[in-house]
Structure 1
Amino acid sequence: MNQSMFIVWRESVEALLVIGILQAWVSQQNQGNCLARYLWAGVVLGLMLSGLLAVLILFAGEAMSGSASEWFQAALALVASLLIVQMVGWMHRHGRTLKHDLRQHADSHLSQQGGLGLLLLAMLAISREGSETVVFLYGAGAQLRGPQLGLFAVGGVSGLVLAALTVALLHSSRRFISWQRFFAISEALLLLLGAALLVSGTERIGGQLLALDLPEIVYSGVGEALWDSSAWLSDSRGLGGLLAGFTGYRATPSGMTLLVWVGYWLAVGGWLRQRAMGKVPCAA
C-alpha cells in the first residue's frame, strides 16, 4: 500500500504540474477556450495510452505461467528500477527549466501545427508520466494477491488524493515547502524505492536460477542467507516491512541480493558525488 501510494502520488504531482503549466500558457493565448479543448483532449489521450499499456502488461503477465511469468515480472521490476534512476536524473537536468521548456515547446507546436500540436505535446507528456506509473506499479505489486492487492489498489487511490492536495498546498503557500524541496525529498524516496524494486527483481531471478543445473557456488550465493536479523527486525511486518518495501531491506539476504543492493548504492552514491562536484549534469 505504501509503495503504490507513493508512486501514484509522486507521478501524479508531476503530471498535474505539467497540466497546470500548459493550462496557464493556454490562458494567455488568443482563442484560449479553443486551445483548452485541445489541451484536455491531449490529457485524455495520454491517459488512454497509459491505460492501454497497463492492459497489455497485465495481459502479457496473465498469458505467461510458471518460469516465464517469473522472468517477466523480474524484468519489469528491473526496468522500473532503471526508470526511477533515469527519471531522477532527468528531473535534475530539466527540473529548474521545466516551465520555460514546456512553454517553449508549446509555442513551437502551436506555430507549426496549431491546436493539434498542443494536443500532441499534452498527450506525450501525460502518457510519459502514466507509462512510468504503470511500470512502477506492476514492478512493485506483481507478486501481491488477495487482500494485499486490494490494499495496494487503495494505496494508489490515496496517492491520487494526496497528489491533488499536495499541488494545491504548493501553489497556495511556499512557507511550508517549496517545489525545489519537494522534488529533492521525493527524489530521495524514489532512489530508495528503486533499490527495493531492484532487490525484488533480483530475488525473482535468484529463484529461477535455483531451479537450473548450475555449479554449487551459484546455489550458495543465491539461496543461502548470509545472516538472519528477523528476530530484532523482521522484513514482513512493522518498521522492517516498511523498510523492505521502500529500501529493499532483507532480514535474511543472500550474497547475490547483498551484492546487488550494495552495487546499486555505490553507483548512485558515485553519481550524486559527481553531481555535487559539478562534473556531470545528470545521470540520464
Structure 2
Amino acid sequence: MGQVLFVVWRESVEALLVIGILFTWIVGRPDSRRWLPYLWGGVGLGLAGAVALGMLILFAGEAMSESAQTLFQTVLMLLACALIVQMVVWMRRHGRTLKQEMHTALADEVGRSHGWGVLLLAAIAVAREGSETVVFLYGIGQHLVLFEFVLATVAGLALAGVTFVLLQLGGRYVSWRWFFRVTEILLLLLGAAMLMSAVDNLLSLDILPAIVDPLWDSSAFINDGTAMGGLVASFTGYRAYPALTSLLIYLAYWVLVLGLLRMPRATRTPVGA
C-alpha cells in the first residue's frame, strides 16, 4: 500500500509541475483565452490515454492463464523498473532545463498559431507521466485489495496536491531540488524491489537458474516475512534468503544505475525558477 501511495504521489507531483509550467506560460500572454482550451484539452487527452492503457493492461492480464499472468506481470515489472531508471536519469539531465525547454516548445507552437500543437504537447507530457504510473501500479498493486488500492491512490493524489502547493510557495518549506533528489533515491530503491520481484517470478518459473539457493540466511537480522521486514523488502528488494542469481542481478542493477547517473547532465535554469 505504501508503494502505491508513493508512486501516485511522486508521479502526480511531476505531472502537476509540467501542467503548472505550461499553464503559467500561457496565462502570461495577452491572448491566453485562445490557448487555454487547447492546454486543458491536452491534459484531458493525456489522462484518457493513461486510463485506456490501464484498462488494456488489466483486461489483457485477466484473459490469461495463471502461469501466463505471472509472466505478463513479470514483464511489466521489468518494464516498470526500466522506466524508473530512465525517468530518474532523464530528470537528472533535463530537470534543470525542463521549464526552459517547455517554454521554448510552447513559444514555437504559439508562434506558428498551432493550437493543436499546444494540445499535443500537453497530451504527450501528461500521458507520459500517466502511462508510467499505470505500469508502476500494475507491477506493485497485484496483492492489494481494491479498497486498499483506491485508498492509497486517493491519499497519494491528495498528498501530491499539498506537496505541489508547498513547493510553489518559493521553497520556503522544501525545494524542488531536494524533492527530486530524495524521491529519485526512493524511486531507484523501488525499482530494485520491482526487479527482485520479477527475478523471484523468473526463478519460480524455472526461466532463470538459482545457481545457489539460498546463498545465506539473514532472517535473524531482518526477516522479510514479518511486517517490518516485508516493508523493507517492498522498498529495497531485500531478501533474507537470496539466491545467488538474485544477488548478481541486484548488484548489476546498481552498477548500471550508478554508471548512468555519473554521465554528464544539463546545467541551466533550475526547475521552478
Q: Is the 8 A contact 1:4 1:153 kept in 2?
A: no
* Aligned partner letter, 2:192: A
Shift of 1:75: 0.5
CA distance in 1 between partners of 2:183 and 2:144 (Å): 28
1:234 to 220, 223, 226: 223
Q: Counterparts of 2:161 and 2:44 in 1: how far apart (Å)?
A: 17
The equivalent position to 1:207 in structure 2, one of 204, 208, 222, is 204
- 1:115-140 Cα shifts (integer Å, max 9, x gaps): 21111111110000000000111111
For 2:178, the equivalent position in structure 1 comes to: 181
TM-score (norm 2): 0.92
- Shift in Å at residue 114 of structure 1? 2.3
The corresponding residue for 1:100 is 100
How far apart in 1 are the matches of 2:110 and 2:210?
A: 59
Write the letter of the residue equivalent to 1:261: Y
Distance 1:112 1:209 in 2: 56
CA distance in 1, matches of 2:18, 2:122: 8
1:7-86 alignment to 2 at 5 Å?
7-86=7-86
Runs of 5+ unmatched residues, structure 2: 267-273
The alpha carbon displacement at 1:271 in A equals 3.2
TM-fit CA distance, 1:253? 1.1
**TM-score, normalization by structure 1:** 0.88
Deviations 1:141-192 (A, max 9, x none): 23x154xx53233212111111000000011141332111111111111111
Is contact 1:226-1:253 (8 Å) kept? yes
Counterpart AA for 2:158: V
Shift of 1:268: 1.8
1:265 aligned to which of 235, 244, 254? 254
Amino acid at match of 1:260: I
Q: 2:88 matched to 1:88?
A: yes
Matches within 5 A, 1:242-281: 242-272=231-261, 274-275=262-263, 280-281=264-265
Q: Offset at 1:220?
A: 4.5
Is residue 78–residue 197 contact of structure 1 (8 Å, CA) maintained in 2?
A: yes
5+ residue gaps in structure 1?
none
Equivalences for residues 119-198 of structure 1 within 5 A: 119-142=119-142, 144-146=143-145, 149-198=146-195
Q: Could you tell me how far apart the structure 1 residues matched to 2:210 and 2:32 are?
A: 64
Whose helix proportion is higher, 1 or 2?
A: 1
Aligned to 2:269: none
